[in-house]
Structure 1
Amino acid sequence: MLLGQPHGPDPLGDENTGEADIEYKTCTWWQTGMLMIAETISLGILSLPSVMSTVGLIPGLLLILGMGAFATYSGYVMFQFKMKYPWVKSMADAFEILFAPWGSKAKNIGKEVGGAAQVIFLIFSMASHILTWTICFNVLTEHAVCNIVWGIVALVVFWIFDLPRTLKKMSYFSVASFISIFTAVMITMIAVGIEVPGRGPTRYTLWPRPGVTFQQAFLSVSNIVFAYAGHVAFFGFIDEMKNPAEFPKSLALLQISDISMYCVVAIIVYRYAGTDVTSPALGSAGSTISKIAYGIAIPTIIIAGVIYGHVSSTYVYRRIFPTQRTKNTWTAWFLWAGITMILWTIAWIIAESIPEFNDMLALVSSLFASWFTYGVSGCFWLFLNWRKWTSTKRKSFLMLVNFCLVLMGGAICGMGLYTSGYAIHQESSRSAGSWSCRSS
């Protein structure tokens, strides 16, 4: 098979023909954009003020802007890849195409690797939402019950919300999710900006604070990567659009929203909370305001987590039970409910095993977001433009950009794994630790 050559028709092409009991491909561009906003602008934004506390205001701002620009471009490359191969519904399908030129065995390996990596990444992201739920309710109830109990409650709540089998209705909830996180961070920004009698002078730095280690600095970079880590679900979102050609509008809505919010929130909260800023950032404004902010943020914690759960469950469901996906029978619903419960249970186990918020985000970013947000998109462009890399000056420039994306993915993955592993080891020795009723 030659590079760029299609490998066959969509095996599930009846999803929008009216022959299926469950109809897909129903989202407009703005609904898709809101889904992407709900998925992306959630937990990542809560770690950004602490990033600036580590690397300084100016380097932090440059990192947020620069990585946001690369994330915008890489998302557009994914759109180009989807338009070239319309049957691609997941990273597994995309990896199958990338590996196809090296033979049928390589193609199958690519499919398995892509699918497994996508599902594992989404499960870790689901775990981060369970962890945030636990932190949230510990704040709201002042640690009234065991951490593990709040984790089990989160598991049940997320599972129930993931029982609907399409994303169309979830797009309306995503509007509530955006309003939720926007309101919560606005309250936090206003609260930390108000002069409180008796509070000492706020300490903030424009540049990295003295004594910052390489591990601490790169852990911050990994947290920024997680803030842009929605790309893994982009193929699934495009696939549920009425008109996939309108995806650039959805991408623009997402990236304008997230880059602007990330910069404003990170700068203001760090400027007024200073080096005492917490992660998640909602805890930086004092006990009472933190409770209010966390209470308002609950819809975001739920909805963004549910979207991750839905995308991962859809892939597993399609892969294991392809003939059941479009059926509206008791068997089909039972299988869907079982898959979602299994995946959320695995996520709960991970959340209890890595109880520190920043460490969880850094590990997820290093293992998977580094590639899905940056590195793999560079591979997509190089694949699509095989033997045309230097055909024009524009192509030559884009070739360099996409090689940079691949190198970024590899560098973030390698160094991020080292720094996040080191941080988890250090944290476990001085905190409550895994599977503990005490809050870390």
Structure 2
Amino acid sequence: MVHQNEWLGTSWIMLTDIVGTSVLTFAGVARQLGWVLTVGFIVGLAPVAIYTAVLMSRTSDLLAKVQQGSRPSSMGEAARMTGGDKAAAVVYAMVYGFAFLGQSSYILVLGQCLQGILFESQLCLPLATAISCILCLPTAASVRHLADSVFLCLLNLVIIMAVLSIVMGKMYLDGRPSQVSTFAFAEGLSFWTVFGAASNVVYSYTGHWIYFELMVEMKKPEQFPRVFLLNAPLQVCLYLLVACWGYYFAGDKAEGYFLDNLPDGEAYRWASILLFAHVAIAFLIKNVVLARALHKLVSPRRVDVGWSEPGGGRAQLEFIGCAVLLLVACWAVSNSIPFFSDLLALIGSLLSGPISFLFPMAFLAGAAQLSRKESRRLIGGWHGQARHVLE
């Protein structure tokens, strides 16, 4: 548990998941959309993301009252409480399937970072991703609770800021090339161009799938909305800075992957080193959630057993097995599908919006209905007692 200022610790965890690799695509997004649509999407989606996150907090509070203090520990559990087992099965499949594919994409990014660090060696991507998995394994197998990663998350925010500073600093020192052009609305705009670029912005605001897990680990879950006092302004300002800076200096030549705007050299190497550390920590955060979910499925009685408790050694070994299995599966998926990045972009476009913006509304509606039923039941019980006394 995070004890004092726990909402602040939760903020660092959320920023690690949300302000991740998606921010590195914003220069390319601006190239595809132009100034007006880029700024409009970044600013306009922020209040939507905050609103739906607050709905999840209200859902958690309502269900805690109806279920005698029991809060949903995941979107799947929220679906089970509000819609039954069938709804839970669908939500579990969508949310954890989407998260698993996101983990697989992180493996690809880690491999690309390792290739950037060793750019002279021409390391092939399957080998680079395999080495990355081995490097991530010790931490992935040892951290079992999100609250144990607060310091890492704070460090991770500093790391991504350093990565962005290196790239933006190099772009500033090199200056804006004379042939670069920028537009209020990008040339050749089409529905599919706007849809694809906007999906990257939507994805950058969709950390909702992990919010119930964060709330259930808080000592005071009702304080969860406070995290947006820090997250919202920092997130929006950072997104705008990266998008506008990258578009101004690179314009219609901006690359979709921010580090690709750097030539091979020491700046590129150090940016790749720092980005590798950042993505590894972001991978760890999601791995904790997925490995715990798998551990709960395999051995529900030992998922919360600590190392020093009876059966703790076996519980830790089970968790390690789950973490290793996930790493191997992520590596296999990311390297076995030739168009995996495109497939992930499509799935992200189709699933990230519903999971983060529609599911919270459905959960709140279901929780409100349960609350009304409970109120009617209590009122009916009081009326029955009153009649009995009068008779």
- TM-score range with shorter-chain normalisation? 0.7 to 0.9
Give the letter aligned to residue 123 of structure 2.
Answer: V
Task: Select which of 81, 91, 100 maps to 1:97.
Answer: 81
**Structure 2 CA distance for partners of 1:205 and 1:291, relative to 1, 3 Å:** farther
* Structure 2 counterpart of 1:420: none
Q: Is the 8 A contact 1:128 1:360 kept in 2?
A: no
Q: Is the 8 A contact 2:334 2:340 kept in 1?
A: no
* Structure 2 counterpart of 1:170: 149
Task: Select which of 360, 363, 377 maps to 1:380.
Answer: 363
* Structure 2 counterpart of 1:341: 324
Task: Select which of 224, 233, 239 maps to 1:247.
Answer: 224
Give the letter aligned to residue 190 of structure 1.
Answer: G
Structure 2 residue 233 is matched with structure 1 residue 218? no
Runs of 4+, deviation exceeding 6 Å: 355-358
In the TM superposition, residue 342 of structure 1 has moved relative to its aligned partner by: 1.4
Give the letter aligned to residue 286 of structure 1.
Answer: P
Q: Relative contact order (alpha carbons < 8 A, sep ≥ 6): 1 or 2 greater? A: 2
Give the letter aligned to residue 95 of structure 1.
Answer: A
Render the CA deviation track for 1:97-154: whole Å, top value 9, x for unaligned.
231xxxxxxx111121222222211111111211111111222212532210111112
Task: Select which of 53, 56, 76 maps to 2:34.
Answer: 56
Structure 2 residue 163 is matched with structure 1 residue 180? no
Give the letter aligned to residue 78 of structure 2.
Answer: A
* Structure 1 counterpart of 2:385: none
* Structure 2 counterpart of 1:392: none
Q: Is the 8 A contact 2:13 2:153 kept in 1?
A: yes
In the aligned structure 2, how far is the partner of 1:46 from the partner of 1:293? 12
Q: Is the 8 A contact 1:94 1:114 kept in 2?
A: no
RMSD after superposition: 2.2
Give the letter aligned to residue 112 of structure 2.
Answer: I
Percent of matched pairs sharing the same residue: 20
In the TM superposition, residue 291 of structure 1 has moved relative to its aligned partner by: 2.2
Higher helix share: 2
Give the letter aligned to residue 167 of structure 1.
Answer: L
In the TM superposition, residue 68 of structure 1 has moved relative to its aligned partner by: 1.6
Structure 2 residue 13 is matched with structure 1 residue 29? no
3-state SS of paired residue (1:322): coil
Structure 2 unmatched runs, 5+? 65-70, 372-391
Give the letter aligned to residue 172 of structure 1.
Answer: F
- Counting matched residue pairs gives 356
In the TM superposition, residue 374 of structure 1 has moved relative to its aligned partner by: 0.9
* Structure 2 counterpart of 1:75: 53
In the TM superposition, residue 232 of structure 1 has moved relative to its aligned partner by: 0.4
Q: Is the 8 A contact 1:74 1:378 kept in 2?
A: yes
Task: Select which of 231, 247, 258 maps to 1:270.
Answer: 247
Structure 2 residue 238 is matched with structure 1 residue 261? yes
Render the CA deviation track for 1:389-429: whole Å, top value 9, x for unaligned.
xxxxxxxxxxxxxxxxxxxxxxxxxxxxxxxxxxxxxxxxx
Q: Is the 8 A contact 2:114 2:132 kept in 1?
A: no
Task: Select which of 52, 67, 89 maps to 1:112.
Answer: 89
TM-score for both structures, normalised by structure 2: 0.85
Give the letter aligned to residue 79 of structure 2.
Answer: F
